[in-house]
Amino acid sequence: MFTLNDEELALSEAVDRFARERLAPAMPAFLRDHLFPADLVSEFGRLGYLGTAYDPDYGGAGLGTRGAAIVAEVLARIEPSFAAIYLCNSAPTSLIARFGSHELKSEWLTAVCEGRMIGSFGVTEPHGGSDVANIRTRAVRDGGDWVLNGSKIFSTNGGTSLHGFSSIVAVTDPDKGPKGLTCFVVPVGTPGFSVGKPSRKIGWRFADSVELYLENVRIPDRHRVGEEGDGLKQILSVLSIGRILVAATGLGLARRAIDLAKAHGRDRKLFGKSILAQPGLAFPLADILTKIHAAELMVRHSATLVDEGRPFRNETSKTKLFASELAVEAALKAIQVHGGYGVFEEFPVSGLLGEAKVLEIVEGTSEIQRMVIARELLD
């Protein structure tokens, strides 16, 4: 369970090669100007990496959540913002892959696996935050169609040149509360479906996050994902899987932080010896190395549970909580190793804290994860 098989090792090496040879040289310009790297994302998709997790019948590689976690971790060790684009495409695509009809998969899942487009997730609303059961976006039947009205926020990948669709959750039966939610696929270009402008963020700096607007958006019933009323169950499942990819991104970011700390600190002297030999820095870094090992085991275990069809929700919450908070801790310590240099934008380590902090918030905040985990105390 905890060691990579030959296919997974080959995947890790291939993604690492792409990240070092193609991403690393280009990233500074995109980060500086907060520009979505469309050509690189398109190239990444054409190589098949967007379809790593999915069914080969629809163009995927069939490597499941374990494979997807490997991709996210390797990307984050080179550039966490690019890993964010990957993991945020995973949620809307996984919704279709897990719950969509053959027709939806053939059209939209195949398009993602072939690298022709990416998707965005439309769940969070301005008033609701983490309370997905309090969604206000409405979908009303009109003959063989649905008409959607509402808005979503923080939809990463929306509005980019590769944005092909958004997965939208809406209320279809207000009288049923959380059981009255249904998910839909809304193609970009559908009349009434529009996207706001991205705002600059402290992390995920070129992974555009936008507001989605739905004004009398009419879509056919075949764009409904699964059964009417299954939306909440579907969202919770997809978000739980997404937490593994957030954790894998946090793991990769923590490793990047250690890489940068070692590269900077190895040749810097303090009181006659390397600063990495000073207990005040060496011991906290040793703790981070230990936690990196633990996070790696947690990510692989949680991903294996998903791929084997075993219960996974609590384990993914623990994994996401641990790895995202580790990412923040590692970023802070790597900046400290750099001393005054750590706060200057010319040094890559300066951007890690913002990138790490986002991970504590997306796919359910740390507080939400603790709420989920704490329920075990009442079982």
Cβ neighbourhood burial of 377 (10 Å; 0-12, 13-18, 19+):
exposed
CA angle 31, 196, 238 (to 5 degrees): 80
Do 192 and 288 have their domain in common?
Answer: no
Instruction: Answer whether 326's CB lies under 8 Å from 368's CB.
Output: no
Residue 111 lies in a domain: yes
Residue 268: which pLDDT band, with cuts at 50, 70 and 90?
confident
CA-to-CA distance for 230 and 349, rounded, in angstroms? 43
Do 109 and 126 have their domain in common?
Answer: no
Residue 317 lies in a domain: yes
Read off the pLDDT of each residue in 263-282 and give the average, rounded to a whole number: 81
pLDDT of residue 134: 81
Instruction: Answer whether 113's CB lies under 8 Å from 53's CB.
Output: no
pLDDT reading at 122 higher than 70 = yes
Do 106 and 124 have their domain in common?
Answer: no
Q: Each residue of 20-59: pLDDT tens digit?
A: 999 999 999 898 889 999 999 999 999 999 999 999 999 9
Q: Which helix (H) or strand (E) holds 43?
A: helix 38-46
Q: What is the CATH number of the domain that holds 236?
A: 1.20.140.10
pLDDT of residue 303: 97
Q: Each residue of 350-371: pLDDT tens digit?
A: 999 999 999 999 999 999 999 9
Do 253 and 354 have their domain in common?
Answer: yes
Residue 290 lies in a domain: yes
pLDDT of residue 278: 83
CA-to-CA distance for 92 and 246, rounded, in angstroms? 15
Q: What is the CATH number of the domain that holds 193?
A: 2.40.110.10
Do 188 and 319 have their domain in common?
Answer: no
Q: Per the structure, how many domains does the chain have?
A: 3
Residue 321: which pLDDT band, with cuts at 50, 70 and 90?
very high
Residues 6+ apart with CB under 8 A from 8: 63, 66, 67, 70
Q: Directed axis angle between helix 313-338 and helix 352-359, to 10°?
A: 160
pLDDT of residue 91: 95
Question: Could you tell me which of 278, 173, 297, 275 has the C-alpha nearest to residue 230?
Answer: 173
Chain-centroid distance of CA 276 in Å reads 32
Do 291 and 208 have their domain in common?
Answer: no
pLDDT of residue 125: 92
pLDDT reading at 133 higher than 90 = no
pLDDT of residue 280: 83
CA-to-CA distance for 1 and 182, rounded, in angstroms? 35
Do 275 and 323 have their domain in common?
Answer: yes
Do 240 and 351 have their domain in common?
Answer: yes
Instruction: Answer whether 185's CB lies under 8 Å from 223's CB.
Output: yes
DSSP lists the bridge partners of residue 218 as 147
Do 299 and 225 have their domain in common?
Answer: no
Residue identified by tokens 């690393």 is: 24
pTM here is: 0.95
Q: What is the CATH number of the domain that holds 27?
A: 1.10.540.10
Residues 6+ apart with CB under 8 A from 301: 1, 2, 315, 319
Instruction: Answer whether 161's CB lies under 8 Å from 133's CB.
Output: no
Eight-class DSSP state of 22: I
Which of the listed residues 229, 244, 276 is the one where a domain comes to its end? 229
Which of the listed residues 67, 95, 119 is the one where a domain comes to its end? 119
Q: How far is CA 3 from CA 70, 107, 254, 296, 297, in A?
A: 12, 35, 20, 10, 9
Do 357 and 268 have their domain in common?
Answer: yes
Residue 273: which pLDDT band, with cuts at 50, 70 and 90?
confident
Which of the listed residues 229, 253, 287 is the one where a domain comes to its end? 229
pLDDT reading at 129 higher than 70 = no
Residue 140 lies in a domain: yes
178 vs 139, which has greater pLDDT?
A: 139
Q: Each residue of 150-201: pLDDT tens digit?
A: 999 999 999 999 999 999 999 999 989 888 999 999 999 999 999 999 989 9
pLDDT of residue 284: 92
Residue 60 lies in a domain: yes
DSSP 71-110: HHHHHHHH-HHHHHHHHHHHHHHHHHHHH--HHHIIIIIH
What's the whole-number average pLDDT of the chain? 94
Strands 118-122 and 163-171: parallel
Residue 77 lies in a domain: yes
Do 89 and 204 have their domain in common?
Answer: no
133 vs 82, which has greater pLDDT?
A: 82
Domain that holds residue 290: 232-378
Residue 300: which pLDDT band, with cuts at 50, 70 and 90?
very high
Chain-centroid distance of CA 30 in Å reads 19
Instruction: Answer whether 249's CB lies under 8 Å from 296's CB.
Output: no
Do 18 and 67 have their domain in common?
Answer: yes
Chain-centroid distance of CA 287 in Å reads 26
Question: Could you tell me which of 172, 315, 296 has the C-alpha nearest to residue 234?
Answer: 172
Residue 1: which pLDDT band, with cuts at 50, 70 and 90?
low
363 given a catalytic annotation: yes
Q: Which of 114, 363, 367, 376 is catalytic?
A: 363
Residue 1 lies in a domain: no
Residue 267: which pLDDT band, with cuts at 50, 70 and 90?
confident
